[in-house]
Structure 1
Amino acid sequence: MTDLTVDLPSADPADERSIRVENPADGSLVGRVPMATSEEVGAAVAGARAALPGWAATPAVSRAEAVRAAADALADRADELARINEAETGRPAAEAREGVLAGVATLRQYAELGPLHRGRALLGHESATDLMVPEPRGVVVALTPWNDPVAVACGLVGAALVTGNTVVAKPSERCPHTGLLFGEVLRPHFPEGVVRHLAGDGTVGSWLAEHPDVDVIAHVGSTATGRSLAAVAARTGAKVLLENGGNDPLIVDADVDPQWAAEQAATGAFANSGQICVAVERIFVHRRIAEPFVDALTAAADRAGPLPLVDLRHRAAVHAHVTDAVAAGARLRAGGVIPDGPGSRYPATVLTDCDPTMRVMREETFGPVAPVCVVDDFAEGLARARDDAYGLAATVLTRSAEHTQRAWRALPVGTVKVNAVFGGAPGGAAHPRRASGHGYGYGPELLDELTATKVVHIEPAP
């Protein structure tokens, strides 16, 4: 068993409802965490509802001070959280620590923005007062993923808390120790009931989402789960914020250096083992540079070697996409073979001769797989990139100003990146499209999503 030295609940091995977590590197037992019961879910939501009036009435500056103190405490535990994250998901501790510190920065950002979030005065009759006032929506359920658990949770939880909402959060069952420790670090800085973390699988998430006292369901994860949550919210009336899956394209124009383009593609497809929401999932490369591009991408995959995936179940899903593509006529240029030994590693993989009918091109693989389709011109690449059910992000590599303008205007996604697979200025926020969800899930605009506007009209009595 991996020694976590963390004072968190530990489940009895005989408990069939406990969450068993294995280390992706070697298959060793990380630990067992008891899943929340339906009674515990009800108690957590009831506690959040009871705490809501007091927290909503707390001055915005005081709420921000609490969030800032929580951020400082989180920074002090960054190494510990990173080590646990690595044990549970395989993400290297150095990268996991960067994720924790990104979460710290997000909490501090919302601590600054919260007191500045404002309504407006309206120009009515001079004897009257007319206002538009933002108010907290109420009890927020935050359902967060395993691939960057602390950073994502800090965004949803931090924005909810500074705007006066109370929160019940459920981290992914693939990283329950990380999620529960995150909750334990935050909890002492807030009044009882304001923020609570529960461990559990999809059943626990469903209990939370279906609870009639929940006002907002904020979810980052798969499209299938997001759609089921939207259906639940349609019945309960809760507001839903969804960042679902993506199938992000990379368009490689004829006028770029193929070696540089391959390095960008490798970063986009293989970073964090491809387990990034905006990872490169489909590549459309111009025929003129396709051969040197693929050669360089294949070399990059060979250098990357086997990479850690979160667990065996996920590795099986990634490998199924690869084997399906090969059976349908794709050519395996690198990787694609499950390595011997314990753990759930998978090699960086390059596929060529891919076509849009293959699952690896139609569905989110979420692994270190780079499927390549050769196109005859930029217009074809753009058309193929647009032809997809998802709408999270896209990347274009080109030296042409004309193609840049055409691409960012035409691509039906929330984020378009030109000549860099990752990056962007702070403070940005985007709406995902179609199967990728809806609503602002980050940035200053998330404060608007987590508040409801009330119009107030005041006239003097006669």
Structure 2
Amino acid sequence: MEHHFYNIVGAERRDGQNCTRVTCPRTGEALWEAPLASKEDLEDAVSSGRASARSWGNASLHIRQNLLRDFALELTAWAKSLSPILARETGKSVSQTKRLCHVGSQRCECSDHLESSQSLDDEVVYEDATVKVVATHMPLGLVAAICPWNFPLVLAMGKIAAALLTGNCVIVKPSPFTPYTTMKVVELALDVFPPGVLQVLHGEADLGRELTIHRSIDKITFTGSTATGKKIMESAAYTLKNMTLELGGNDASIVCDDVNVSAVAHEVAQGCLFHSGQMCVATKRVYVHKSIYEASLRCLVKEFELFITGTPRDTPSIFGPLQNSAQFTIVKELIDDCKARAYRFATGGKVEEGPGLWIQPTIVDRPPDESSIVSEEQFGPITPVLEWETEEEVISRANNTRSGLGACVWSADITRAERISRKLQAGTVWVNSFEKPLPMAYFSGHKDSGVGGEWGRQGLLSYCYTQSLHVYKDNVLTAAEALVLP
């Protein structure tokens, strides 16, 4: 696969007058040129998408499913070529990106949205002797999918598959930090879908704003930071767009006193450090019961110290560098703040000297609840571990945040774990597991963690208008009766 990248507009591969280069976060090397979409590219993409929206929306579900299956097979066939590109732009290891590129086996990619259980059939919501009320679902039209840099392919495919399945056309805007794999994937779609059904435009924040205010785009689906999500919501208000915003999280992991300490420590560490904590639902705060705190901390330290920085990209690992210098600076400042306030580091606290954006896996032992390391989302390999004593207390502390994306509860007593889970203000709670979103389950955030949600049947509804048909059975006027009405 050649390392030449294009904006895809209609049926065209388009270069650009201006290009950007991304730096590999693992090695610091400059990667390939990616053309920036022009204003003309944007307008042409919108026109092409709208021209295709009616025919694509009117196509049968069977046709759309089959073409999505063809797309999934096409991407899987190219997985070996896509994997090194994804590894170099994200900093993930090649072993990890091989799984992320293999569409047939990955969560929230095309194949997960193709079964009949993931479709939106008409639903009779009420019926009696007089009337039948039927809920039908029609596509919104043209969707702009603005995607993040941490999982650029998986999260883009979740948006693409759901939107196309429900009859919408899609313009994808990848993160400017990770444009390459998404541009290649949409280029491969040229051989599968009709022109205009799936397009891609690469650009910076100004392109994102143009998408959110464009009058001919019907929905914005965005995954990213809460701050950016608020700006998108403000911009989209001018045209009353539909929107789905999946935003930041500050997920709490609550460890009860009846667990196998060593086994749970291993699992919690995975939740903290998968992709170096650069995951919206990564564990950001760990609350351990007082009676097992010291033993748990020792086990967590041992687990954190198994993750090695500076490894080659072909070394199997779920741990890697920070993806970009902006996020690297944020995490470094959090470490510096903890040092300045004399918080205790149980392990780590070291920023590696290049090449690459590496930070040692770090545990901060019992910092104050009001500290930045506890109250703010780190999005990096630094985790505060805290002590709790009563259920009421730990639930209150876990909920004391404007975020509400996910949480975990660990207990040998499932009834107890579920009781705690139901009191947590989070869109998803995992019991006895670190955060593993599944495509059949609705994924949404509470409070500042989002508006609406994606995945599952409820997520598909966000890509549709719901129309209610009120069909009256016995009150049909004949033509003669109609003539005598006033």
Question: Counterparts of 1:400 and 1:124 in 2: how far apart (Å)?
Answer: 43
Question: Which residues of 2 match residues 118-129 of structure 1 at below 5 A?
Answer: 118-121=121-124
What residue in structure 1 maps to residue 20 of structure 2?
19
Report the alpha carbon displacement of residue 188 of structure 1 after superposing the two structures with TM. Answer: 2.3
What residue in structure 1 maps to residue 10 of structure 2?
none
What residue in structure 2 maps to residue 257 of structure 1?
260
Aligned with 1:405 (options 418, 421, 426): 418
User: 1:302-355, CA deviations, whole angstroms, 9 ceiling, x for partnerless residues?
Assistant: 221323111222211111112212323321122221112211111111111212
Report the alpha carbon displacement of residue 50 of structure 1 after superposing the two structures with TM. Answer: 1.3
Question: Counterparts of 2:362 and 2:103 in 1: how far apart (Å)?
Answer: 29
What residue in structure 1 maps to residue 328 of structure 2?
315
1:75–1:100 Cα contact (<8 Å) kept: yes
The CA RMSD measured in Å over matched residues stands at: 2.3
Report the alpha carbon displacement of residue 257 of structure 1 after superposing the two structures with TM. Answer: 2.6
1:98 and 2:111 aligned: no
1:103–1:154 Cα contact (<8 Å) kept: no
Query: Aligned with 1:140: secondary structure?
Result: strand
User: 1:152-201, CA deviations, whole angstroms, 9 ceiling, x for partnerless residues?
Assistant: 11111111111111111101111111110111122321111111011112
2:36–2:202 Cα contact (<8 Å) kept: yes
> Structure 1 unaligned runs (5+)?
none
Aligned with 1:218 (options 200, 216, 221): 221
1:113–1:444 Cα contact (<8 Å) kept: no
What residue in structure 1 maps to residue 403 of structure 2?
390
Report the alpha carbon displacement of residue 127 of structure 1 after superposing the two structures with TM. Answer: 9.0
What residue in structure 2 maps to residue 344 of structure 1?
357
Report the alpha carbon displacement of residue 86 of structure 1 after superposing the two structures with TM. Answer: 0.7
TM-score (ref. length: structure 1): 0.92
2:454–2:460 Cα contact (<8 Å) kept: no
Report the alpha carbon displacement of residue 18 of structure 1 after superposing the two structures with TM. Answer: 2.9
What residue in structure 1 maps to residue 82 of structure 2?
81
Report the alpha carbon displacement of residue 81 of structure 1 after superposing the two structures with TM. Answer: 1.7
Aligned with 2:341 (options 316, 321, 328): 328
Query: Aligned with 1:284: secondary structure?
Result: strand
User: 1:415-462, CA deviations, whole angstroms, 9 ceiling, x for partnerless residues?
Assistant: 111111134766111331011102121123222111111234565762
Give aligned pairs, total: 455
Report the alpha carbon displacement of residue 38 of structure 1 after superposing the two structures with TM. Answer: 2.1
1:26–1:343 Cα contact (<8 Å) kept: yes
Amino acid at match of 2:387: V
2:76–2:103 Cα contact (<8 Å) kept: no
Report the alpha carbon displacement of residue 107 of structure 1 after superposing the two structures with TM. Answer: 0.8
1:333–1:350 Cα contact (<8 Å) kept: yes
Report the alpha carbon displacement of residue 111 of structure 1 after superposing the two structures with TM. Answer: 2.5
Question: Counterparts of 1:107 and 1:424 in 2: how far apart (Å)?
Answer: 16
Amino acid at match of 1:200: G
Aligned with 2:197 (options 185, 194, 198): 194
Amino acid at match of 2:139: P
Q: Percent identity?
A: 29
Report the alpha carbon displacement of residue 214 of structure 1 after superposing the two structures with TM. Answer: 1.0
Deviates more, 1:217-226 or 1:102-111: 102-111
Amino acid at match of 1:265: V
Question: Counterparts of 2:440 and 2:117 in 1: how far apart (Å)?
Answer: 14
2:118–2:457 Cα contact (<8 Å) kept: no
User: 1:334-383, CA deviations, whole angstroms, 9 ceiling, x for partnerless residues?
Assistant: 22211122111111111112122222211111111111122233332222
> Structure 2 unaligned runs (5+)?
8-15, 310-319, 480-486
1:312–1:343 Cα contact (<8 Å) kept: no
Query: Aligned with 1:303: secondary structure?
Result: coil
Report the alpha carbon displacement of residue 16 of structure 1 after superposing the two structures with TM. Answer: 9.9
Question: Counterparts of 1:5 and 1:417 in 2: how far apart (Å)?
Answer: 41
TM-score (ref. length: structure 2): 0.88
Question: Counterparts of 2:411 and 2:73 in 1: how far apart (Å)?
Answer: 42
Question: Counterparts of 2:259 and 2:129 in 1: how far apart (Å)?
Answer: 62
What residue in structure 1 maps to residue 312 of structure 2?
none
User: 1:285-309, CA deviations, whole angstroms, 9 ceiling, x for partnerless residues?
Assistant: 1222111211221122222132311
Question: Counterparts of 1:298 and 1:125 in 2: how far apart (Å)?
Answer: 63
Query: Aligned with 2:194: secondary structure?
Result: coil
What residue in structure 1 maps to residue 57 of structure 2?
56
When residues 364 and 264 of structure 1 are mapped into structure 2, their CA distance, relative to the original with a 3 A threshold, is: same
Report the alpha carbon displacement of residue 25 of structure 1 after superposing the two structures with TM. Answer: 1.5
Amino acid at match of 2:4: D
2:118–2:456 Cα contact (<8 Å) kept: no
Deviates more, 1:223-232 or 1:97-106: 97-106
Amino acid at match of 1:432: G
Question: Counterparts of 1:457 and 1:339 in 2: how far apart (Å)?
Answer: 65
